Structure formats: C-alpha cells, structure tokens
Amino acid sequence: MRILVVEDARELADVVAEGLRDQGMAVDVAYDGIDAAGKVDRNTYDVVVLDRDLPGMHGDALCQVITAREARAMVLMLTAAGSADDRVSGLTLGADDYLAKPFHFPELVLRVRALGRRRPAARARTLRAAGIELDPITRTATRAGVPLSLSVKEFALLEALLRATPAFLSAEDLLEQVWDENADPFTNTVTVTIGRLRRKLGEPQVIATMAGVGYRIV
C-alpha cells in the first residue's frame, strides 16, 4: 500500500511514517495542507493519515479535496480533537475513520490496513497466483505451502506483483508502489530486489520480465 502522512508536527510525522515503512508500506510525508494537496494531485494513495489542524490548508478542507476525487484515497483522521462531536464532524466531512491522539501505534497500523482493504480498488485479503499465497495482514507468504522468508521490500514487491496479476508492472510502477517519492528513478534497486525475490521463490521461475514493459507473475 502507498500511504500519505499529513502532519505538521514533524517529529510525529516522521515517526509515524517510519513505523508504517517498517510494516512494508510505501509512505510519503507532507507537513502542511498545501504540500499534501499537491501530492494527492500527483500521486495515487491507498490511505491518507490526516491531521486536522494544518497550516496552509486546513485538514477539513483537504479531506473534502481528497474525498471529491474519482479514484480517492481512504482518509484516517489522526488528531488531538477527540471528542464525540469532533469525531462526528470529521466523519461528516468524508473521513473514513477517526483516531484521537495520543494513540497506540499497533492500532494505527490495523486501522490503516483495514482502510486499505475497504478501498474500492482493493482486492481480497489473501492474494494467490502461481502457487503463491500472500496475506498482507499477517505478513506471511508461501509457495506450494512452503513459508517464504522475505525482507520488507521483497514482501511489498511480491504483494504489488500479485495484486497486478496478470498485468505487467514497470520498474517505475514498482518504485511508486513499493518505495516512495524519494526513490531515485534511475536506480537499479528494483532489478536487484527482483533478483533476490526470484531466488527466494525458487524454481520454476514465476516472475517474467519483458524488456521495455516490466515484470509480472506467470
């Protein structure tokens, strides 16, 4: 999943982003509403973790911008305004979930994953193809019933390929979905990670490459 964390408290924003990355998510960060609106316009996100009291553009206005989009992200409001009235007003603006600060980080992760599953474009929880089964919630993957020991990025890359099956994903697609906006588009990190993943998946090979097109599970 690709996540946007919008929070003007930089230390908190960076901690949340790093924690979500440790869970295998691609995470971008915006510290004000205007920057966040630009990122939402340029990129496709599964979930936006949104503070309400933002400089530049208030979180309420940004929530309405996000929810008005045709292929919109799910919105989790994460804010110090935690009264019942605050929750009602936030959900009325179109937010899909509401979590008050201070919060328990494992709960945040569960809520983000739940929203990702609810997003209209999302597919079933367990992904299956070519004898591979992957559960993004329990973070387990098997091939022919044998557990796979994958790094965070290898797991996220396999998840992206399985979600796209039978279509191809280009290296640029994978950089966007598995890494984040800071990834170098000229890096060979996708090729290297694909190579490691192929070795761990074993024979027969199931990740096909088409020059100039990309990768897919066959």
- Sequence-separated (6 or more) residues with CB below 8 Å from residue 72: 66
Specify the higher pLDDT residue, 81 or 59. Answer: 59
Q: What are phi and psi of 209, to 5 degrees?
A: -120, 130
Domain shared by 197 and 172, yes or no: yes
Domain shared by 92 and 137, yes or no: no
Domain shared by 50 and 103, yes or no: yes
User: Do 5 and 46 meet the contact criterion of CB atoms below 8 Å apart?
Assistant: no
- CB atoms inside a 10 Å sphere around CB 46: 22
Tokens of 105: 């980080």
Domain boundary among 94, 118, 142: 118
Count of structural domains within the chain: 2
Domain shared by 105 and 165, yes or no: no
Domain shared by 46 and 105, yes or no: yes
Mean pLDDT of 47-56: 94
pLDDT at 177 over 90: no
Domain shared by 34 and 132, yes or no: no
Please compute, for residue 67, the number of CA atoms within 13 A of its CA located in the half-sphere on the CB side. 19
Domain boundary among 81, 98, 118: 118
pLDDT tier for residue 156 given thresholds of 50, 70 and 90: very high
- Sequence-separated (6 or more) residues with CB below 8 Å from residue 20: 3, 5, 27, 109, 112
pLDDT tier for residue 70 given thresholds of 50, 70 and 90: confident
Average pLDDT, the chain: 89
Where residue 209 sits, what CATH number does that domain have? 1.10.10.10
Domain shared by 43 and 151, yes or no: no
pLDDT at 183 over 80: no
Domain shared by 162 and 79, yes or no: no
Mean pLDDT of 23-30: 94
Where residue 72 sits, what CATH number does that domain have? 3.40.50.2300
pLDDT at 19 over 90: yes
Q: What are phi and psi of 50, to 5 degrees?
A: -125, 120
Of 18-22, 57-61, 81-85, 114-118, the one with minimum mean pLDDT is 81-85
Amino acid occupying residue 204: P
Domain shared by 114 and 203, yes or no: no
pLDDT at 186 over 80: no
Per-residue model confidence (pLDDT) at position 124: 59
pLDDT tier for residue 133 given thresholds of 50, 70 and 90: very high
Per-residue model confidence (pLDDT) at position 122: 56
Domain boundary among 56, 85, 118: 118
Per-residue model confidence (pLDDT) at position 57: 94
Cα separation, 138 vs 65, in Å, equals 33
Q: Report how far apart the first and last C-alpha atoms of the chain are (Å, whole number).
A: 22
Q: Which domain holds residue 134?
A: 127-217
Domain shared by 114 and 158, yes or no: no
Cα separation, 105 vs 20, in Å, equals 9
Tokens of 53: 């009291």
- What percentage of the chain carries pLDDT values higher than 70? 94
Amino acid occupying residue 116: G
Domain shared by 112 and 206, yes or no: no
pLDDT at 82 over 60: no
User: Do 185 and 133 meet the contact criterion of CB atoms below 8 Å apart?
Assistant: no
- CB atoms inside a 10 Å sphere around CB 185: 8
Domain shared by 145 and 112, yes or no: no
Q: What are phi and psi of 101, to 5 degrees?
A: -85, 145
pLDDT at 81 over 70: no
